[in-house]
Amino acid sequence: MAAVTPATLIGPDLDPKTVNVASLDDGTINYFDEQRTLRSSAVNQFVQLRSIGGDDTVGPLSAPGVWLTDGQRFTGDWVGPTPDGSAIRWRHPLIGTVVIPLEDVTRVDWIANDHETASSDAPITDRVTLTNGDTLTGFVSSLAETGVALVPDTGGAGGDPVTIPYGRIASMVLANPVGSHAEPYHRVTLADGTRLWADDLRITSDRVYFRVIPPGAPAMEIESSVSELARIDFWAGGLRLIDLSELPRRTVEEASVFGLPVPVRVTGRSIRMHAPGSVIFELPDGAERFAAVAELDTQDAPPEIAGWADFQAVVSSEDPQDQRFRVTGLQQTVVINTPVSGPGLTIRLDPSVNGPILDRMLLRDAVILVRMPGPEPSSDSGR
């Protein structure tokens, strides 16, 4: 009997289904459902296949890597700049060396960097963070063999660039406009955190095959073990899933416990909050549905006080009807699945009985279903 791969299959209703994938080819996925019935469906009926192999672990975003304006992300190793200094060369163990123009880059991490997901809008100036924690802002004009050429912010126009040695740099953020990828490609996320646009997807037994078009390289066919695959976001008739943690946010009310502030923390795909507090995530155009699992966050908490927890997670968007979900020490996990609309999604935690004792929420698998717009004209960043 051919091998099957355990996974979680997500449709536009955002209701996860545990399946065993037998194969995927020619736009069709064959799988055994929870009743062990073999089914065959077009992949465009689904938006995501995750927890492939039974594990939804994705490599840490803190690993060295490069982020692109179109949403792709490569982990791996820095190779160096191109001779003219207008692009970077980056090596990935599976893809090989890619050449990425500076105008297509949003961030480069040279070393592991335990940064939280950004909570504000896209930066309006380039930023270079040194290994000692200092930050320099300005305009990255080019990449030299020895370092990054940065024209510092001086309060006026112009200025001479300074070269910052690569050995002193932890990360670089470029103020390039982020675009949406609306072409009919699937998004493949590898277990090391790499995220690629791909087509010609196939899964056979324990192998996965797909075609990618890396920056600065011709299209190539990739073959790897299914174990190197973390998730697939299918192109489902223009529908996409976006992790809530990737959206810009602003705190409306910061929680305070015994006089100490407890900010909203977003790391990787995890969102942690404490009652009483609220945060607004900025929704993209076309947002239709929000789903997540809300759990009592017992991290670093004595287990004997978990029974004191009792709070409500209140979810609201443009619809005036709030959706309330209660989490307690006896009911520590709640599934959220609700329509959304408008420019923002507000999540608020209200303490109930006992006050805000251990009223801490971990939000996982938080996603927004978005109906993607058509392609937009590319913009020139001026680099």
| Dist CA 7 CA 292 (whole Å) | 18
DSSP 307-337: GG-EEEEEEESSSSS-EEEEEESSS-EEEEE
Domain 243-371 has CATH 3.40.309.10: no
Query: In the chain, where are the structural domains located?
Result: 5-58+183-238, 65-173, 243-371
Question: Quick one: pLDDT at residue 2?
Answer: 65
Tokens of 255: 């929680």
Strand partners for 189: 195, 231
| Local confidence pLDDT in tens for the 383 residues of the chain | 468 899 999 999 999 999 999 999 978 999 999 999 999 999 989 999 998 887 766 655 567 899 998 889 999 999 999 999 999 999 999 888 999 999 999 999 998 765 544 444 567 899 999 999 899 999 999 999 999 999 998 755 556 889 999 999 999 999 998 876 656 789 999 988 899 999 899 998 889 999 998 877 788 899 999 988 999 999 877 898 989 988 988 878 888 777 788 888 887 778 999 899 999 999 999 999 999 999 999 887 777 777 788 889 999 998 667 899 999 888 999 999 999 999 999 999 998 777 777 888 999 989 999 998 754 433 444 45
Neighbours of 363 (CB within 10 A): 22
| Dist CA 314 CA 303 (whole Å) | 25
pTM of the model: 0.83
DSSP 61-127: TTSSEEEETTS-EEESEEEEE-TTSSEEEEEETTTEEEEEEGGGEEEEESS---PPPP-SSPPSSEE
